[in-house]
Amino acid sequence: MRCEQFRELISAYIERSIAPPLAAKMEQHAARCPSCRAELEDVRMLWRVMAQVQPVKAPDSLHARIMQEVYSRVPATPSLRWWELAWRPRFAFAAAAVLAILALVLWSQNVQTDAIALSVVSSGGSPVTPVKTRILPVRFEPFRAEQGDLRWMLKLNAPQPTVVEVASGGQTVWRGLVARETPVVLPMSSGASVLEVRVTWDNGSVLRAWLPAELSSQDSKPVLVVKEKTVEETLSRIAGAYSVPLVLMGEADPLTRVSLRSTGVALDELLEKVAAELKLEISRAEDGTTVLTAR
């Protein structure tokens, strides 16, 4: 197991939402890798601290005291329009104090609830370019190999003969003419938590998919941290953390960067936030796969 894979699975490991064989591999890796072992302990400590934080109830007299402080700092001058008053130093200080106290109270009351912090920096164009021509129907179906490993099968279909190329890990897995439903067995993930697949057709239309090495058997809400990653890297991290397959229709802008921090957030809520920022539409395929399509 690589350090990058270990870090992606820390939250799922703490939640006990990964398969026992994979958990055993993580324990073996942590035993011999000091940096990953330290990061695992840091995340455990964060979870313990968050579990111990108690909501803080604002005193009933807080509002009255704040308003008294605001009024005492406003000088007795002729009436001013609100935008003129806002620039007065004393009023600005009092308003800032009100906002700071209110933010502290709201944060303390919601620290145990779901939280998403997300920022997207684009080069100016659309974060994801729509497919140029018709959409190629695609299904991803999981199955167990004889050795018990999870494998994925890609099933292609096209309304008319279409040349399609399927690549994984930078190498072409299959290339041919699709005129009816065509199954393609995808390679194993080779120890990675997510198998990345790229399908191209019609001279440049692109579909990207991230297929987890293990599927989640329950609704997990992991702690997820992404710093300055591409759109593809972000979706790959989400697919790995939640153990669900994700599909992106369209070519992502390589200059777009995503920073994401989520704590105790359900997958649907997280995807809705990400899709809104990246200007994507969310749909569900017949097989349950989540599909993100450029608007």
Categorise residue 187: left if φ over 0, alpha if ψ from -120 to 50, beta otherwise. beta
Same-domain status, 125 and 99: no
Same-domain status, 19 and 124: no
Same-domain status, 230 and 261: yes
Same-domain status, 97 and 195: no
- Give pLDDT tens digits along the chain (295 positions): 788 888 888 887 887 777 777 888 888 888 988 888 888 888 888 777 776 766 666 666 766 777 777 766 665 555 445 444 444 555 555 555 555 555 555 544 444 445 889 999 987 778 888 887 667 778 888 888 777 778 888 888 888 888 999 998 788 989 988 888 888 888 887 778 888 999 988 877 888 999 988 887 667 788 899 999 999 999 999 998 888 899 998 888 888 999 999 888 888 999 999 999 999 999 887 667 888 888 7
Same-domain status, 144 and 98: no
Same-domain status, 25 and 83: no
Same-domain status, 129 and 170: yes
* pLDDT tens-place string over residues 104-160: 555 444 444 458 899 999 877 788 888 876 677 788 888 887 777 788 888 888 888
Per the structure, the complete domain to which residue 103 belongs is given by 62-110
Could you give the number of structural domains in the chain? 3
Same-domain status, 36 and 72: no
Same-domain status, 173 and 260: yes
